[in-house]
Amino acid sequence: MRILFLNYEYPPLGGGAGNATAYLLKEFAKIPGLEVDLVTSAIDKKYQLEKIGENIRIHRLPIGKNPKNLHFQSQKDLLIYAWKAYFFSRKIIQERKYALTLAFFSVPCGFLAWIFKRQFELPYLVFLRGADVPGYSERFIYLHKIITPLIKRIWREAESVVANSRGLKDLARKTNPLQKIDIIPNGIDTRQFRPSVYNFGSPTSKMEVGLPRSWNTFKILCVTRITPRKNIRCLIEAFNQLRRKYANLNLQIIGEGDEKNNLEKLVGELGIEKEVDFVGLLPHEKLPAYYQSARVYVLPSLNEGMSNSMLEALASGLPLLATDTGGTKELIEDGVNGFV
């Protein structure tokens, strides 16, 4: 069986959807007789082919991506990806026989899958990720007003439409109340993300993540894209209030994004540079030690589907503090494993 997989995000590009794709491909690689071709975006200016085992091929298409902003895909990025992915995918569809297409995001990937169904009678599945659902992001509010009829048609003609949380499904049903939508939550590797044998920031775990702090430091962790939608400004302002009441607090923010410079300026204005660490973008395999050295995980997003970082934090044994949006209540039992 051969599957065509379309997602413009794949690590180090993007965020949750890219990581979810990476997890899926690792599992697909374990299935005998299954071949997968992922068509995604490249950072470099040349086409790149990567492999996982012998049967998983990752085709990275150059889209002129700015390597300094890997976590944000502009509308220009999406248009270039759609154009190049269409011709590349069309070529390999004609060369190989595929059973179906998996498309992450209704547009542009679901749109491409919809075209291929019409051209090659190739069935497709659409996985809703968040920003592709009308009403999820103010960034696309005007675009969604124009393309919502197309999105509804893409969903209607898919073999299945899959959301990653009940909250995202409910939002999608506002666009089409009659649309059947299944739910498959994101998954993570609990062999990689697990509680530390050293409880709450032991000396060993602190040395692993390079924290020259006292052993009793209470570390607050946030791993996310640093964009306005993630509402990190609110977290920093709240942290500034807390540090006036409690000693030995540390806020650690892991990730990159177009809001980072503004937030670093805010931290400077508040005079809390010593208490707030902007770690930057880290390889995924280095994250477990940071989770294990923290006391609590905070994500103040304005909207969210099913947060991979919250799943990783839970698997690492951390209590969660998050806003009531998207799939948050599906992960947090208020007052038990965290607070909403």
* Domain 203-339 CATH superfamily: Glycogen Phosphorylase B; (3.40.50.2000)
- Tokens representing 247? 């000693």
Q: Quick check: 278 pLDDT over 90? A: yes
Greater confidence, 44 or 155?
A: 155
Q: Quick check: 6 pLDDT over 60? A: yes
Using an 8 Å Cβ cutoff, are 280 and 258 in contact? no
Residue 162 β-bridge partners: 127, 182
- Cα(340)–Cα(337) distance, rounded to whole angstroms? 10
Using an 8 Å Cβ cutoff, are 279 and 254 in contact? yes
- Tokens representing 231? 């509402």
**pLDDT range class, residue 328, cuts 50, 70, 90:** confident
Percent of the chain with pLDDT over 90: 67
Residues in the chain: 340
**pLDDT range class, residue 204, cuts 50, 70, 90:** very low
pLDDT at position 276 is 96
Q: Domain locations in the chain?
A: 2-183, 203-339
Provide the mean pLDDT of the chain. Answer: 89
CATH no. of 2-183: 3.40.50.2000
8: left (phi over 0), alpha (psi -120 to 50) or beta: alpha
Q: Quick check: 101 pLDDT over 90? A: yes
Instruction: Output the CA–CA distances (angstroms, integers) from residue 70 to 7, 44, 253, in the order listed.
Output: 15, 12, 17
pLDDT 10s digits, 111-161: 999 999 999 999 999 999 988 999 887 777 888 889 999 999 999 999 999
Q: Quick check: 167 pLDDT over 60? A: yes
Greater confidence, 201 or 42?
A: 42
Q: Assess whether the region 2-183 and the region 203-339 belong to the same CATH fold.
A: yes
* Backbone angles phi and psi of 83, in degrees to 5: -65, -50
Instruction: Output the CA–CA distances (angstroms, integers) from residue 340 to 21, 27, 329, in the order listed.
Output: 28, 32, 7
pLDDT at position 215 is 57
